[in-house]
Amino acid sequence: MNEDKTILVTGGAGAIGSNLVNTIINDCEKLVILDDFSSGRFDNLTSKKIHIVDGDICDQSVIDKAFSYGINQVYHLAANFANQNSVDNTEKDLRTNGIGVVKVLQASVENKIEKFLATSSSCVYKPGNNPFIETGHIELTTPYAITKMLSEYYISFYSKFHNLSSVIVRPFNSYGPGDVPGRFRSVVPNFFLNAINGLPLTITGDGSETRPFTYVQDIVNGLVCAMNNSPDIKLKTFGGHPVDKNDTLVYNIGNDTSITILELAEKINEICQNKAGVEFIPRRDWDKFPNRAVQNDKAKNDLDFEIQYDIDAGLRLTYEWFKTQNFK
């Protein structure tokens, strides 16, 4: 690691962002976080080495302030998160996930950063029963999926046209410490909130839907591997193979094993000793993914990435963190 570098993490106060910050904080001289705290939390940030820029990534003055620190690498995680949120707030979703990424990309080019990494989403894939691979079919079923794919196209343009060394990661169903319950939030923290309070866990659908729930530290490890181990577009070869400058580097990061939502609910109820069971409500109109699974072969081969936490270990660690919080 080059401990003299300065790293910018947009969205660094969020669930994945804050865990990423805690992982890389000792591997750099300065770590700058750009976040508007609309969904991220100050409580997630504990290190005194962090420089916080509080503001909107669509505000040029905020972008200028963040890059004034002399940034070497960018982890772009800031986003208008969640499919339902994008359905309810479509213009905000387009602004943040479209204009926002362009602002950060343009500043990255102007400030000659060494490497740009962005998180996209697994929801860009066409629904199906086979594990998703990076070259699989794309089908955009929500505004969030549309703008995440839009951001990938912009990153590809800046990579090719401006020679910006960049990589895209598509995380799958992250959960763990830092992931809070609430509207537009993920199923795992909302299940834990109900289970700890002795309430039934609400399942949208019939519970047979499958997801590759991935512990947040595995997601973070995948991001770090992608930043440090993915090929640079300036290289001519990587791993003995030619590097095609016209290819944008995209990697799936997710748990190799999927489980049903009902199995997830039962595991969480067992951990919390909740006897209230589950209840079922109709699936949301936009949810076209009865099954979701991931193939990590590209990340394993190119990045030396491996999943470290199975679902039982991850849920237990999440429960221990949840007990230290004061969620209502």
* pLDDT confidence bin for 81, thresholds 50/70/90: confident
Which domains does the chain possess? Answer: 6-174+214-253 (3.40.50.720), 177-211+257-292+310-322 (3.90.25.10)
Q: Give the bridge partners for 238, in sequence order.
A: 241
Which tens digits make up the pLDDT trace of 95-130?
999 999 999 999 999 999 999 999 999 999 998 889
Predicted confidence at residue 231, as pLDDT, reads 79
The span from the CA of 79 to the CA of 58, in Å, is: 11
Predicted confidence at residue 114, as pLDDT, reads 95
Q: Give the bridge partners for 283, in sequence order.
A: none
CA proximity to 251, closest of 141, 127, 155: 155
For CA atoms 177, 181, 187, 191, the dihedral sign is positive
Whether pLDDT at 218 is above 90? yes
Q: Report, as an integer, the average pLDDT of 66-91.
A: 89
The span from the CA of 7 to the CA of 30, in Å, is: 6
Predicted confidence at residue 239, as pLDDT, reads 44
Predicted confidence at residue 2, as pLDDT, reads 57
Which tens digits make up the pLDDT trace of 305-314?
999 999 999 9
Whether pLDDT at 41 is above 90? no
Q: Give the bridge partners for 279, in sequence order.
A: 202
* pLDDT confidence bin for 25, thresholds 50/70/90: very high
**Crossing angle (nearest 10°) for helices 187-196 and 261-272:** 40
Which tens digits make up the pLDDT trace of 48-60?
789 999 999 999 9
Which tens digits make up the pLDDT trace of 159-203?
989 999 999 999 999 999 999 988 767 899 999 999 999 999 999
Whether pLDDT at 242 is above 80? no
* pLDDT confidence bin for 241, thresholds 50/70/90: very low
